[in-house]
Amino acid sequence: MNLIVLLNNDFIDDTHITLTDKRFEHIRTIHQSSVGDSVKLGQLNGMMGTGIITAITDNKVDIEVKLDQAPPEKLPLKVILALPRPKMIRRIFRSIAELGIEELIIINSYKVEKSFWNSPALTDEKVEGYLMAGLQQAKDTVLPRVSFKRLFKPFLEDELPAIVQGSRGIIAHPATGKPCPHSINESAVLAIGPEGGFTEYEVNKFIEAGFEGIHLGERILRVENALAAITSKLY
């Protein structure tokens, strides 16, 4: 936790907050802070800055905050991702926020098991928690937008053209297309398939929507490594 993200109900007034939950525990046990120490914090979807600890007890910490810095810019990158298996959801959503991706669109795909859509990891509250963990790691305050599109064909045909318009559409597909471009100076929409990849039909639907196939060389990376690797090459 390199930045503590504050919610509206942490605020007593404009410049004073009290924390009692695991953020308090983090300040007490990891930072081992005491009165007068400073801590980096930011308001969810708002400004970042510094807090000075004014009181700390066994069950809460009071902090006087000064929020005067803008959060870092998001990358001009939207990611379209086939729903990952439940045990990967936490890590991947956290990475989306950590890497500075502005929007995540989760879609269905032939190789996504139907049961994955019922995962308890997909509640709004859980998803926000994973994203906030990524923000607190990366020192950012702004949640990426997240949406779920369970119907592949209507999404690809009816919604995707407007999403990719004016951006570069890229689909990661090992053994297809060109090497991943690097240092692009434009916004992009990146599609990454499930474990086992998109089917040929699915890849072709993206190509029809104007996407280009790219690969990362001979090695097949897991989704979370491919996500970090491609994002890093593009920007």
By CB under 8 A, name the binding residues for a copy of itself.
2, 72, 95, 98-100, 137-140, 182-183, 216-222, 224-225, 228-233
Minimum CB separation of residue 151 from a copy of itself in Å reads 27
Are the C-beta atoms of residues 136 and 157 closer than 8 Å to each other? no
The smaller minimum CB distance to a copy of itself, of residues 101 and 209, is found at 101
Q: How large is the greatest C-alpha to C-alpha distance in the chain, in angstroms?
A: 61
Q: Please, how many CA atoms are within 13 Å of residue 232, restricted to the half-sphere of its CB?
A: 9
The H or E element containing residue 67 is strand 61-69
The smaller minimum CB distance to a copy of itself, of residues 94 and 205, is found at 94
Are the C-beta atoms of residues 192 and 81 closer than 8 Å to each other? yes
Minimum CB separation of residue 124 from a copy of itself in Å reads 24
Minimum CB separation of residue 12 from a copy of itself in Å reads 29
Amino acid at 209: A
Beta-carbon contacts of residue 60 (< 8 Å; ≥ 6 apart): 18, 19, 20, 24
| DSSP of 175-202 | TSSEEPP-S--S-EEEEE--TT---HHH
| DSSP of 121-154 | GGSHHHHHHHHHHHHHHHT--PPPEEEEE--HHH
The smaller minimum CB distance to a copy of itself, of residues 156 and 203, is found at 203
The smaller minimum CB distance to a copy of itself, of residues 191 and 226, is found at 226
Minimum CB separation of residue 52 from a copy of itself in Å reads 21
Minimum CB separation of residue 222 from a copy of itself in Å reads 6
The smaller minimum CB distance to a copy of itself, of residues 43 and 231, is found at 231
Are the C-beta atoms of residues 203 and 176 closer than 8 Å to each other? yes
Are the C-beta atoms of residues 207 and 213 closer than 8 Å to each other? yes
Minimum CB separation of residue 224 from a copy of itself in Å reads 8
The smaller minimum CB distance to a copy of itself, of residues 6 and 48, is found at 48
Are the C-beta atoms of residues 194 and 109 closer than 8 Å to each other? yes
